[in-house]
Amino acid sequence: MDLVSRAKNILLSPRSEWAVIAGEETDAGTLYRSYIVYMAAIAPVCGFIGFTIFLSHFGVGIGIFAVIIQYLVALGVVYVVALIAQWLGPKFGGSGDFVRALKLVAYASTASWVGGFFMLVPRLGILSFLLSLYGLYLLYAGATPVMEVPAERAVVFTGALVLAVIALLIVVAFILRLILGFGMVTMM
């Protein structure tokens, strides 16, 4: 399935699309090459255009550096969150398969990634945030078909995964602040 169709289907008809995704045979490399590397680039690139060019808020050099860092962090976070989902799966009666976990995390992130288009107009950034919240529903909706978590435990699995991701993002932000300095990270 092509990238645009997959994104559209997961956003507009997630229940039926998760069933399709659950049945697909793939591997981590293919998921990254065919979906994640493109979708994860939306927010950094659109943010660069919106902030650097339209608002002249940051210099181009700093903006490009920020895009690269934000993109690499996004790629890494997807992988680490999939590892967490893989670890949590069996604890909630589901699968401990990494590829299933990566499919869940990657496709549930679609709402957030598509929301990155709103960063073209920085004042619409709140819409990007709202789409990210829809990603929580996508995560929940995919827990049973993809990770095989029993339906009655899907809410708790999703909550545990979300809490783990929040903790992870706090740690990542802290590390980036130490490495890059406070001002650089606040613009991401």
Structure confidence at residue 89 (pLDDT): 97
Query: What residue numbers bound the domain in which 96 lies?
Result: 3-186
Give the tens place of pLDDT for each residue, 118-143: 988 878 878 888 999 999 999 999 99
More confident residue, 173 or 11: 11
Total domains present in the chain: 1
pLDDT above 60: residue 185: no
Give the tens place of pLDDT for each residue, 69-127: 889 989 999 999 999 999 999 999 999 999 999 999 999 999 999 999 998 887 887 88
Phi, psi of 173 (to 5 degrees): -60, -40
C-alpha span between 188 and 181 (Å, rounded): 12
Q: Tell me the DSSP string of 19-51.
A: HHHHH----HHHHIIIIIHHHTTHHHHHHHIII
